[in-house]
Each structure stands twice: as structure tokens, then as C-alpha cells.
Structure 1
Amino acid sequence: MILVIGLALFPSQLEAQCAMCRAVLESEESGTAAEGINNGIVYLMAIPYVLVAGVFYFVYRKMRS
């Protein structure tokens, strides 16, 4: 849980790219497209973890009550 929160708070330090995307984007000189693609991938990756954490929190609160 702490890891998920930490990853959600510091997404700019993550680099989640497939090998093909990395090879194509590293050949680009400006690097702005690579940064945008990387941010999009990290954003899409974080959403399921946040949703699962929310469900577990909801179940935990219901079980505790």
C-alpha cells in the first residue's frame, strides 16, 4: 500500500516503456514526445492500482464496522 502511494506521488521518477517505444523515442532529438509517452504510460498504469486500493479500503472499513 505504501509502495502504491509512493509511486502515485512521484510518477516523474518512473520510466515505464516497452522496448520498441524506447528505441523509437530515444532516436528523437527533442525528447518531448518521449516524456509525454512515458507520463501517459505511468498514468494508465497507476489507475488500476488506485482503484484496487480503494476497493480494499472500502472492504476494510465495512469489515471493521
Structure 2
Amino acid sequence: MKTKVFVLLFMLLLTASSMNTATAQCAMCSISAEQGTKNGNTQGKGLNTGIIYLLAIPYLLISGMGALWYLKYRKGSAGYAKNN
């Protein structure tokens, strides 16, 4: 049990220590997109479209799985009510 806690804390510390590197890249991309739009380029629109696409897909997939699960569950409970 102590080993699992130690490994978990070590992984948490390792993840927290590497966060500064990851956030620096986002600032560089946003500055590049802002400068590109000021000069008449359409890089900012493409970046925004990509962000929306990456944001929407997981929500659509989870919603679809939830709807399928709900319909399957509802169909199963309707059959149970008819037999009794």
C-alpha cells in the first residue's frame, strides 16, 4: 500500500514539474496567430476551427454513446414490463 502511494505521489510531482514547458507552447501559438491576423493571414481562423473541432468531437462521441445506452436500456425495461 505504501509503495502505491509513493508511486502516485512521484508521478504527481513529475507531472506538476513539467507543466511550465507545456504552457509556454500555447502562448507562442497564440502570439503567432494574433500577429498573423494583423498582417492579413487567415492562420487565426484555421487555428480557431481546429480548436472547435478538437473540442466538439469528444462531446459528440460521449453524447452518442449515452443516447445508444439510454435507448438500449429503455428498450430492455419496456420488454420487462410487458412480460410481468
Q: Is TM more than 0.5 here?
A: yes
Tell me which of 22, 37, 42 is aligned to 2:30: 22
TM norm structure 1: 0.64
In structure 1, what is the equivalent of residue 66 of structure 2? 56
Identity of aligned residues (%): 44
* Runs (5+) with no aligned partner, structure 1: 1-17
Which has the larger helix fraction?
A: 2
TM norm structure 2: 0.51
Higher CA-based Rg: 2
Q: Number of residue pairs matched?
A: 48
In structure 1, what is the equivalent of residue 55 of structure 2? 45
Tell me the distance in 1 between the aligned counterparts of 2:27 and 2:67: 35
* Runs (5+) with no aligned partner, structure 2: 1-25, 76-84
**Counterpart residue type for residue 19 of structure 1:** A
Tell me the distance in 2 between the aligned counterparts of 1:54 and 1:41: 21
Q: Which has the higher contact order (CA 8 A, sep 6+)?
A: 1
